[in-house]
Structure 1
Amino acid sequence: MSLHQANVHSTRPQVGVCDVGVSPHTAHVTTVLGDLHGLAGRAWAMALSRPSEGHDCSLLTLRPDLPVKPLGLLITRATIESRRHADMTWGAAQAGVAAGIADAVADGTIGQVTIDDIVAVVTIWVDWAASDERAVFLNHRKATLQAVHLGAAGYPEINEVIEARHQPYNARFDFAALTRPLSE
């Protein structure tokens, strides 16, 4: 289901999460799309008006003076620590996220009929060691589009969540490793 087909004026935003790529160029993206006048709109306005130290936010733009539609806000989860990291975050990653949102509009996942009535809040984490602008851009574009698709589809199903609780894992932790026998 697309955001266009869903009731975008409901209080429930569409949330998607996606990781794409290989460290240190991995894109860690979370998207929240929803009604400009609902929870997503309030979160969008609060984040824009009250950035926290080291975790800036900015309007998503495809090029200077051309904001993406729906209006999107990019929030960093990694504190900017160097000029190079800032360039990777506010350059390649930001451009990739903006292109990913525009891709979701182009493929119909985000409907153009309601485009001015919704907002997007996107959080990203860019590794401090990232150095390949092309990889950072492409990974963020793909992760953003996939996150929007997952949010529009209502992913995950509750049964998958219940099943996964027995062996959680992520890029920094693997529960299965805890259950392996210790070698002597």
Structure 2
Amino acid sequence: MPSPFAATALIGESFVGDGADAAHTNVVIGRKGGPVETAWATALATPSAGHVPFLTVLRPSVPVKPLTLFVTKAAAAGELHGRAIWGAAQAGLAQGVLDAVTEGLLPAEDADDLLIIAAVWVNPAVGDLDAAFRNQRAAAHRAVRAAVTGTPTLKEIEAAAADGPSNPFYTPSPEVLAG
């Protein structure tokens, strides 16, 4: 079976947790020298107000590998939200990526050749930094797993769609679904 890392880009998504401490993470994984590297460098070099991508670190001066760019989906809305973004969510993302390497989802021998872009949602109403860390760690790991394994499959998506779309923010009523 060919390596999934031969692809130009792998894309994954995961939502973990409930309420304001939930984590929603999208990842794009690709090799250096390809389009993901171009996107990675461009995002790092062109921040916008409130959305400053940064290198994800396990500790100051110790970036996680594969090098992972943290792109926040929400501008910091106060001191606790900022600590959740740059502290708990960053630490959770770093640990989730490291968990994926430790598990072998991301081969250790490829860690220097791969790049990850992670778009991360941290709710401005976040209240529990430990829950935000745990949820982000799990969401990062699951998003990487989805990217590497190509899940969900179209068959899984069709099965999930049987009852209509739904997410933590909205579920259409049966009348709306009927058109």
Residue 83 of structure 1 and its aligned partner are, at CA, apart by 1.6
Are the equivalent residues in 2 in contact too, given 1:9–1:38 (CA < 8 A)?
A: no
Identity of aligned residues (%): 37
Q: Which runs of 5+ in 1 are unaligned?
A: none
Deviations 1:19-52 (A, max 9, x none): 1111110001111111111121111111100111
Given candidates 95, 109, 132, the residue that maps to 1:99 is: 95
Note if 1:169 corresponds to 2:166.
yes
* C-alpha RMSD of matched pairs (Å): 1.8
CA offsets 1:105-136 (integer angstroms, 9 cap, x no match): 00000001111111011111111111211100
Does the 8 A contact of 2:25 with 2:136 survive in 1? yes
Partner of residue 140 from structure 1, selected from 125, 136, 140: 136
Q: How many correspondences in the alignment? A: 175
- SS of equivalent to 2:112: helix
2:94 counterpart letter in structure 1: A
- Per the alignment, residue 10 of structure 1 pairs with 7
Equivalent position of 1:156 in the other structure: 152
Partner of 1:46: 42
Correspondences of 1:73-112 after superposition (within 5 Å)? 73-112=69-108
Name whichever structure is richer in helix by fraction: 2
Displacement of 1:159 in angstroms is 2.8
What is the rounded CA distance, in whole Å, between the counterparts of 2:103 and 2:4 in structure 1?
A: 19
Task: Find the counterpart in structure 1 of residue 124 from structure 2.
Answer: 128
For residue 3 of structure 2, give the secondary structure of its aligned residue in structure 1: coil
SS in 1 for 2:68: strand
Runs of 4+ with deviation above 4 angstroms = none
Is this contact kept in 2: 1:16–1:30, CA < 8 A?
yes
CA distance in 1, matches of 2:32, 2:163: 37
Is residue 4–residue 148 contact of structure 2 (8 Å, CA) maintained in 1? no
Deviation at 1:62, TM superposition (A): 0.2
Q: Could you report, residue by residue, the CA deviation over 1:55-88 in whole angstroms, capped at 9, with x for unpaired residues?
A: 1111010001000000010000011121211111
